[in-house]
Structure formats: structure tokens, C-alpha cells
Structure 1
Amino acid sequence: MTAINPQPFPFVSVSGAPYERGVQYGRAVPERVKRSIGLYGGTLDELGMDAAQKKKLITAFADQIAGFGAHYLAEMRGIADGASVALDDIILINARTEIVAQARREMRKPEAEDDAVDGCTGAVILPERSASGRIIHGQNWDWRAECAETAIVLRVAREDGPDFMTFVEAGGLARCGLNAAGIAITANYLESDRDYRETGIPLVLIRRKVLEQKHFAMALRAVAATPKTCSNNMMVSSSEGYAVDFECAPDEVFPLYPADGLLVHANHWVSPVALAKLKDVGLLGDSFYRDKRVEHLLGARKLTPDDLKAAFFDDFATPFAVCRPVLPNSAGDLSATVAMIILDSTEGTMDIAPLPAHCRDFTRYSLQAPPQALRRAAE
């Protein structure tokens, strides 16, 4: 990024069978797909991996994806064909967390790890705390600032289940989002000493599986029962009025439940059971106050989506704040809160602001309507 000039994320709407949807997707945003490939493929090059090493690593995850659902690979193949790129590059985007981390370990370059970790502060407000009586779910996504120029909003009309909408890096199948059955998911970084011992299902595919479900119970099961390569925190809510936060180790999950009508999570392990069984090796210093800052700012009153936005704009201890401005990290890259996302699973809408520390302009994306610019959030 040469200048901080946030623009609304492109909206891509696709339909049909998986391969056809993928082709539509790839053709709609080929340059953004190529930027995503460059971002993560470039990281593998910097680590010194040759073509054979890359191929072996990507093939291991392709095999896992094929076993999890052949339609996922068909959709990825469609994206590759639509954007005129290699299928392996699309698999890389969809398993980038796992592939890049595995590459660092194989190349024995842990020092190459940068501090633009895939962070986030997430929250769910339950109906009893919501002024409208509807659940409110959202997050700040902290990652590489360049992703403000690679992310999109994808709406998928399905023939085999509920339609869904996801905010995602171009070329990916899902990140955070909601579906027409009222199920929503956000996710954020966790790390433990159990990570990368086995090859499991990429996190992107687990999030996508959640968005394909008709029933809240099956969405929860998709998170809880799927083996993973690395740790992650996944917060799943239902417009019926409940939410569960799963702190996930590769082989075990530790559920956290709402307290006083709220769930808030940053990037450190909270579950006492988890902390008794594993070691938190992520330990981002700002994580220890970001969740508490959001809880404090939300207070004990009835809340609106604007209240959640205001809490997510918090700049306490900036630049390491809930809302992070663009800043260089130790690897020379830029890190930031890339987007603020507020989900209304009852209405089927997502309000999203790019680089919110620099931009308070939200766009509303809908399962039913074209994108709509919203009034600027209060300073």
C-alpha cells in the first residue's frame, strides 16, 4: 500500500453449481485474487522454499480438502480457471495460515514470523442485552494492511442449502459471515503447544462448513468435531438468540458461554480447562486488555450495533489498540485493523468499514439487496 485511502470492499454475487460459482468469482475479481496469491506465495519464496517443496506442502492440504468435501476443490478449481491462475495458488490462499506456518517450521525459520498476526477482537451481544432484541455479532480483523486491497464480500446463492455471505480474502471460500438460516461466525488467532503436529482441515474450510449449515447445532458440531492443524478461536451465533465461543486446539475444543448477555474474545486462551491442559504460546501483549476494554465500553446497558462499533473503535494504548492504525511491524510489513465487521443475522446484513482507524465509512452488504453506503460513524 502506497497510501492510506480505504475503499469499500468489492461485492461479488455468485450462483449455480460449485465449479460455476468459482468461475464467476474468479472472473469478477481476478486482480484481487492475484494480489492474494502474491502476498502468500511471496512469503513462501522469502522463506526459501523451492517449487517441489511448495508442491508437496500444498498437495498435503489438497488431499485433506478433498476428503472433507469434493465440492470445495471444485469451487477452488473454478476460481482458478476464472482468474486464470493455478489451482495450487487457490489452495494456498485457502490454507494460508497452515501452509505458511508449516513452511516456517520446515525451513527452520521461526525468526521469520512477523507480528502482524491474524489477530482480532470479537464480540456477540445476546438479545437480552440488545435494544432491538436481536443478536448483534461483530469483530475487528487485525492482519496485514495490504489485505484492505485483497479482501472482498462474497454472496453465494446455493442450490443445496442456505445462501450465505462472507467477508474473505479474494480466492478464499470463507472467513467471517452469516447465512440465510441466521447462523453467523467470526474467528480469531490463538496458538498453543499442540499446533502443527498433524495435518487437519484448514480453518477456512471449517468456517465455510459452518456457513453451509441449516441448523445451529450442526454449525457448532462443524467447529467442535473437525480436526485442525492449528489452534483458533471461533465464535458462532444464531439469530434464534444464542452464541458459543470455541477455543480450539487441533484435537480438542473448549467452549465458553455468554455472561451477562455478552461474549467477548481477543487472542489469548481464557478457558480454565484449556489453560490447565495446554500452553499458550501466542501471548500478544495487547490481547490481555483488548477484550476487557470492549466489555468495559459496552457496560451494562441495552446495546445497539452503533454501540458495538463505538467499542471496536477504541484507541486505548494505540497503536496496539482494539482499533489498530496502519503501522510497520518488525518484518517491515504493514499491520492494521483491516476491517470492522458488524453482522445482523436476523436481517442478513453486514456493515463493514475498511481500515477503521483511518476510515469511519461503512458499507452495508445484504443477502437480499445491493450494497448500500451508510452514514459515517460518529467520531
Structure 2
Amino acid sequence: MKGMVKGTGLFALIMVSISLVQLALASPLWGSSTIDQNPPQKLTQIRAPIIHVKGNHYEVGYQIGTRLKENLLNEVNQLKSRSDWDKLKANGELFLAYSRKHLPEYIEEYQGAADALGIKLEELFPTICEELFYPEFFKGCSDLIASGDVTEDGSVLVAHNNDTEPGPVTIIHYQVTGEPEILAVGYGGLGISVGYNSAGISLTGNQVDSTDIRVGVPRMLLVRKILAAKRIGDAIDAAIMEQRASNYNQVIADANGEIYSIEGSATDYEAIYAVDGYLVHTNHYVSPRMRKFELYPNQITGSIVRYNRATRLMKGSLGHITVEKLMQLLRDHVNHPYSICRHGEEIKTTFSIIINLSTMKMLLAPGNPCEVEYSEYDFSTKE
């Protein structure tokens, strides 16, 4: 009898121990590389509008101005209502002079848009010249790029969350004479946030705040030039144009799986190559060469957390990265609300995108990806 009681007690102790181990393994402390997300059971279906423009630079600009007239005029009128408008306009003309000299074809696009709006180019140009408002603006983004070496099916996948003030997410399909076709995502205006072209070049990236902003070609024009590239080398050349006023961190990839992060400022840059087949970037300088340009070194904690979190999740998924896996990563909520999937009233993830450079298709969620479903687009998508 004593032996049975003793054996029963030992069995119970073993079962309790097993239960405790199972509970510990299920705990977040043991599964910390697991994606932290809690999306609703049913995601909202929202499709961003797409417009198609075709012709020479002036003609496509005129078409954009016609189709997006209300949004563009709202942007202009908001600036004109500022007490410092005269100063903004005068300074904008300095940047315009550089742009006319070094990228005249894209000034033709803006001239076409201005004519469609019935305003002067000098009134429109400040809307794409972010350097005029430095350091007022904020854009926080997360990039996760994978070559075919580390994806499950060999596809080249480009994933990006765009964090900024809410705006009307819009897709523009450019068909410009002499350039590859471009699918560009922005906020209902002439500015482009991300995109890819029919030559297999994609551009995503991140705002970085540098100490050396100067008068020159606005970085928004560099974006337009990059997306017109037919080779990745040409895209990199566009990203480091000598006459630039400032820069983003430009993440450039191609369908061959060549992936570069061009950490730039106005006067310097570092080309970071995805030697392990994948690349992650957020909103601070990573390379030692560029850290001296960090404008707010004590205000980049959120970016550091996103960078390290995304790196860990990507590293743990190597060889098994799929479109669905990247969707999960883009919904991650570690360090919420300042997470990869950012939440907030003023600044939030306003769109999430995954570009497949192997199939030449993109998936876009115009909002937080934990709330909004991804929809598919390509160069054949109708309005």
C-alpha cells in the first residue's frame, strides 16, 4: 500500500513537471522569435485606386495633374496658407534651378502637371521638395528584402511598410516614352514612395535624417530617376547623383536577386550589399561610415528596435521565406505602437507592400496590414 502511494505520488509529480515544461515552452519567453501579431479574424478589403498615364514626360505630367487635380491643389493651397509661404516659394526656386539643369525631363513632368492645375510651376514645386520643410516631416518605414537564395520557391521578394501621416494611397502606372513601365505608389500626388518597373528594378527605402542637407536636386526627384533605370547600376547611379540636396536610404533590388541599401546623405553614401541573400533596413544609419551624419542619434530607438526585430525574424525564416511569411512579418507588433506594423493617430503604417520581382506582381494593403487585406496589382491591372 505504501509502495502504491509512493508510486502514485511520483507519477503525479512527473505529470506536473511535464505540464510546467509545456507551459514554459508555450510562454513568449521561450518563443520570443515568434511573430507578435493579433490581426482581426476578418481583414478589411480596400483597393487603392490606380491611374494609367502614357506619353512623353510633359504629357504624363499633364495627365497626372488632370486625374489628381483635387489632391494636388489641396497640397498647394495648404502650403500657400502658411505664414512662411513666400520664403518657401523663393527657396523652392533655388532647388528648381538645380533640377532644371540636372534632371530636366522630370521638370517637364511637373510643368505638365502645373499646366493641368492652372498654376505656376514655382507654386507646385515646393510640394515635392521635402528639404524645404526639414525637419518638420516624418516618414518611418521598414524594409525586408529576400533574394531567391533564401526564399522557399526562389522568388525575389521585396517587402515594405510605409509609416507616415494618413493620406490617399494611390498607384500610378507610368508608360513614358523611352523608359520602362513603372508601377509607383504614393499619396495622390507627384511624389513617389515606392515602386518597381518592367525592367525588374524595385525601389523601396527609408527616411534618414542627416546633418548635411543643402540646396540641390530634391531627393524626391532621385526616386523618379531610379525607377526609370533599366539596370541596377543605373539605379544606383541615380541614387548617388552628385548634385543631390539630401537623400533617403534607397533600397534597390532587381529580378536577379541583387539587393543594395544605399545609405545616403547629401554629401556621402555607403552601398550595403545583401551578402547573405537578404537585407533589412529602417530609419537610422547602420554603416559606421554614415553614422556621423545622424541628426538625432538619441531619437532613433524605435528604428533600432524595428531593425533588430526584423533582422531576427528574417534570419529565423531563411530558406522558408514566402509571400505569406512576409505578410506575417509586416504585421509584427513587438514594441507596439512603434512596431514594424505601426499604430497611432498622427503617424501609422499607411500602406504595406510586397513586390515579387520574379512574377512582376505586387500586393498592396492601403493601411495597417493587421487590419487591411492585401490586393494584387500588376502592369495589366485596369482602373
Per the TM superposition, whether the score is higher than 0.5 is yes
Residues 83 and 344 of structure 1: is their aligned pair in 2 closer, same or farther, counting only changes over 3 Å? farther
Deviations 1:100-143 (A, max 9, x none): 12xx7xxxxxxxx4xx7211011210110112212111211111
- DSSP-derived class of the 2:59 partner: helix
TM-score scaled by length of structure 2: 0.82
Deviations 1:172-199 (A, max 9, x none): 15331111110011121111222x2x21
Residue 308 (structure 2) aligns with: 292
The more displaced of 291-300 and 123-132 is 291-300
CA distance in 1, matches of 2:247, 2:191: 19
Deviations 1:75-124 (A, max 9, x none): 112112324444234312221x21112xx7xxxxxxxx4xx721101121
Residue 296 (structure 2) aligns with: 281
2:133 pairs, out of 76, 97, 100, with 100
- DSSP-derived class of the 2:301 partner: coil
CA distance in 1, matches of 2:162, 2:310: 14
Superposed counterparts of 1:1-379, under 5 Å? 7-38=46-77, 41=79, 45=82, 48-51=83-86, 53-95=87-129, 97-101=130-134, 113=136, 117-145=138-166, 147=167, 149=168, 151-194=169-212, 196=213, 198-275=214-291, 277-281=292-296, 283-298=299-314, 299=316, 300-327=318-345, 334-356=346-368, 359-370=371-382
- DSSP-derived class of the 2:251 partner: strand
CA distance in 2, matches of 1:91, 1:50: 12
CA distance in 2, matches of 1:363, 1:90: 32
RMSD: 2.2
Deviations 1:288-338 (A, max 9, x none): 1101212222323321122112111111121111111232xxxxxx21111
| Structure 1 counterpart of 2:139, one-letter code | D
Residues 78 and 340 of structure 1: is their aligned pair in 2 closer, same or farther, counting only changes over 3 Å? same
| Structure 1 counterpart of 2:163, one-letter code | D
- DSSP-derived class of the 1:181 partner: coil
- DSSP-derived class of the 2:290 partner: helix
- DSSP-derived class of the 1:291 partner: helix
| Structure 2 counterpart of 1:310, one-letter code | Q
The more displaced of 296-305 and 241-250 is 296-305
| Structure 2 counterpart of 1:353, one-letter code | A
Instruction: Extract unaligned runs of 5+ from structure 1.
Output: 105-112, 328-333, 372-379
| Structure 1 counterpart of 2:261, one-letter code | D
Runs of 4+ in 1 over 6 A off after TM superposition: none
Q: Is the 8 A contact 2:140 2:207 kept in 1?
A: yes
- DSSP-derived class of the 1:120 partner: strand
Greater C-alpha radius of gyration: 2
- DSSP-derived class of the 1:318 partner: coil
CA distance in 2, matches of 1:211, 1:50: 31
Q: Is the 8 A contact 1:268 1:280 kept in 2?
A: no
Q: Is the 8 A contact 1:206 1:226 kept in 2?
A: no
